[in-house]
Amino acid sequence: MSTDDVFENQDRFVFISYCRDDNGFPAQSSGWVTTFDKNLDTYVRKRLKGGGKLKCWRDERYLSPHEVLDEALERQVKSSDFMVCVVSDNYMESKYCMMEVSLFHQHLGQRLYVGEKMRIFKALINNIPLKEQKPEILQRSTGYNFYDEGERDRRYPTQFRLEFGGNYSNLLYQNIDKLARDIKELFNIIEQNARTQLPPNNSPPKTKCVYLAETTSDLNEERELIRHKLEQSGYQVFPSRDKLLPRDSSLDDTIGTYLEQCIFSIHLVGHLYGFIPEANTHSVMEIEGRLAAKHSQSYRDFSWLVCMKEGLDIKDERQKQFVEFLQNTAYVIETNLVENWETEIYRRLNPTNIINLQPINITGYNQRQVYLVYDNTDIDNVNVVRNYLGQQQRLKVLEFPFPRDDSDNIFQLRRNHKEYLKSCDALIIYWGNAEESWVTAKLRELLKEHGFRSSPIPNVALCLSEPSLALKRNYQTEYVSSVISGFEVVSSADLATFIGRIV
């Protein structure tokens, strides 16, 4: 359970996400959103019987098109338990509103859902069909209509407003009260879940708990050695020696419960595939690995490490596929020295004690290394960027198209990829024909490598190229410092600005 779910003596927030144009231009004190916010806050407090634990919050500034979300606003989004989106055509066209929803979703991860309920609520002020609502996450609930449903044939039916009086005024209050009631019910469920899931007072802190995955017979001795050293260092290791993992349908839930209590998991992988439980098609080791991967995507304070020996002779096709999954997803250390595994584990568990390792100097001291990453579908399109970089005397371009096939040298290519991420001075991710999932995977890899450099990669750029799609133009991520426009023509000005930061 995350500490975000339990704040006994702190205020909790409902973040109101809205487009300022729906409240007047500039924001008016008597605008629709102002009225909605004020009354929702009142009704929520009333529903909670004056407890004052839950408050509505919205940003009352008007952001001009060139401004970005500041740190204070990001902190408020991340500190909120719920989000209410005031959905309209203006809202869906606002990149700031899209960023707020995306940030809230990314921060909560799996905790966005509580049973069958979601922490994002919708207040619709335009008649927008469900399939047209953006971002896509909003299509997962029906929402609350704050307009005359008798005018469903109109895109902009009459809104419920106080100034219209009569039934429209009453319906505004009724719908706000319904929304407040549902927020209160979900709030109570979260609080009740938190009370029942709190660990006993004598439990170790999460930072001292490590999940040590099962392994096969060829690595049992190494696993026991690592367990012994972890326990000697004061860590609680799950599962404990006297509690084996179940072999029935409760396996996944049991592993998930352990991972929730840990900040780190360790997976020792050899050439054998391992035990397959009843009514399952995957080995216990693969189930653990895939659950750890999923957990790491939802909780940024959780990381995992895969330890393998070099030159594994893998004959089982299932194990080959599992190892490839690990190579694509996890940080993998391949060495025949168990001491190196232990060193890597210690570094991950004690990030403040990491020695400032010097990056591998592939090209000498006089050049800065720029790593150019692109999908093999863009091997021809990337020439413009490659040639431009190659003309800069003080730059050395590291590159290879990321492979998709099952060629014999794929593991070596992936090892090169990791070494380049560790040693480069700058990174350019070229996004042309690749799917969005490919770009997301490349950006996630940056997080894995940060713990193994003397410092994060200081300059990261995303070069956006044809085809020109809306999802590219609106793509937002906190992991890049520059965006290079490559639609129709690659911007030499953007490239020059980026290079100027390196040399």
Contacts of 134 (CB under 8 A, 6+ apart): 92, 98
pLDDT in tens, 12-49: 899 999 998 898 644 444 789 999 999 999 888 888 86
- What residues pair up with 463 in beta bridges, in sequence order? 430, 484
Positions of the chain with pLDDT lower than 50, given as ranges: 1-9, 25-29, 51, 63-68, 198-203, 352-365, 404-408
Q: How far is CA 111 from CA 206, 331, 396, in A?
A: 18, 25, 43
* CB contact at 8 A, 50 and 81: no
What pTM value is reported for the model?
0.41
Residue 372's nearest CA partner among 435, 416, 427 is 427
Question: What architecture (CATH level 2) is domain 3-197?
Answer: 3-Layer(aba) Sandwich (3.40)
Q: What's residue 362's pLDDT?
A: 33
Range list of H helices, 233-351: 251-260, 284-298, 317-329, 338-349
Q: What's residue 37's pLDDT?
A: 92
CA 61/CA 69 separation, integer angstroms: 11
DSSP string over 103-157: HHHHHHGGGGEETTEESEEEEESS---GGG-SSGGGGGS--EE-B-GGGTTSSSP
Q: What's residue 357's pLDDT?
A: 28
Q: What's residue 366's pLDDT?
A: 52
* CB contact at 8 A, 77 and 112: no
Q: What's residue 253's pLDDT?
A: 87
CA 94/CA 476 separation, integer angstroms: 13
Place of tokens 């953007």: 494
CA 171/CA 163 separation, integer angstroms: 12
The number of residues making up the chain comes to 503
Q: What's residue 17's pLDDT?
A: 95
CA 339/CA 236 separation, integer angstroms: 21
CA 251/CA 249 separation, integer angstroms: 5
Q: What's residue 121's pLDDT?
A: 96
CATH number for 206-353 (one of 3.50.50.60, 3.40.50.300, 3.40.630.30, 3.40.50.10140): it is 3.40.50.10140
CATH number for 368-502 (one of 3.30.70.100, 3.40.50.300, 3.20.20.140, 1.10.1040.10): it is 3.40.50.300
Q: What are phi and psi of 446, to 5 degrees?
A: -60, -40
In the chain, CATH 3.40.50.10140 sits at 3-197, 206-353
Q: β-pairing, 113-114 with 117-118? A: antiparallel
pLDDT in tens, 370-418: 999 988 888 778 888 888 887 777 788 888 655 544 444 555 667 777 7
Residue 60's nearest CA partner among 81, 34, 39 is 34
Place of tokens 């219209």: 164
Q: What's residue 201's pLDDT?
A: 42
3-state secondary structure of 396: strand
Q: What's residue 318's pLDDT?
A: 94
Type of residue at 368? R
Residue 36's nearest CA partner among 224, 177, 225 is 177
* CB contact at 8 A, 357 and 441: no
Q: What is the torsion angle, in degrees rounded to the nearest 10, for the CA atoms of residue 78, residue 73, residue 449 and residue 416?
A: 120
- Encoding tokens for residue 153? 């044939």
The packing angle between helices 95-108 and 71-78, to 10°, is 50
Q: What is the largest CA-CA distance in the chain?
A: 79
In the chain, CATH 3.40.50.300 sits at 368-502
The count of C-alpha atoms lying within 13 angstroms of the C-alpha of 57, restricted to the half-sphere facing its C-beta, is 20
CA 414/CA 308 separation, integer angstroms: 14
